[in-house]
Amino acid sequence: MGNATVFYVGMNVSGSVLITRKMINEFGKATGDLNPIHFDTLAARAAGFSVDDGEVIAHGDLVIACANRIFTARYEHIVLSERQVRFIRPVRSGDTVEVEGAIDEISPPRQGPGAFLCIRSRFKSRGKLRLECVTRAFTREQVDFSHPNSPSRRLLII
């Protein structure tokens, strides 16, 4: 098998990322999202957010991008293509976001090489659920769906 990467339904992917004020500032400038809640503690409070002195609210897309990097850093041949997100609570600067995800589904494409994966994730910080995400991912790598456990349980990337 060599250096095959094995994915299977139920496979857990987890990690954490610290969301810093610098990351929030740079993300806001790069995207043009200059909403004051992302830059000013008093503006965040005035908008109804509970933040401590010096804290601001992180951009939702920044949090998702950082968390998705946990997966793509390990599996460079995976492309994240689509996501559905449910925001529950905001993430604040200084939060360490803990991401717990699992592969929910693996399926072959209609034609050609590769496979689709569905990853369900939960993002927590300060002991509370912040958001839930369903991500669809794709690989164009050669996939062995002839393995006895494929495609219902296992995906082998050769």
Judged against a pLDDT cut of 70, whether residue 3 lies above it is answered with: no
Single-letter code of the amino acid located at 146: S
Positive/negative CA dihedral, 15, 75, 118, 64: positive
Cα–Cα distance, 127 to 102 (Å, whole number): 19
Cα–Cα distance, 68 to 63 (Å, whole number): 9
The full set of domain ranges for the chain reads 5-19+63-157
Helix (H) or strand (E) run with residue 144 in it: strand 143-144
pTM for the whole structure:
0.83
Cis status of the peptide bond prior to 109, with omega within 30 of 0: no
Looking at domain 5-19+63-157, its CATH superfamily turns out to be Hotdog Thioesterase (3.10.129.10)
Lowest model confidence (mean pLDDT) among 67-76, 89-98, 145-154: 145-154
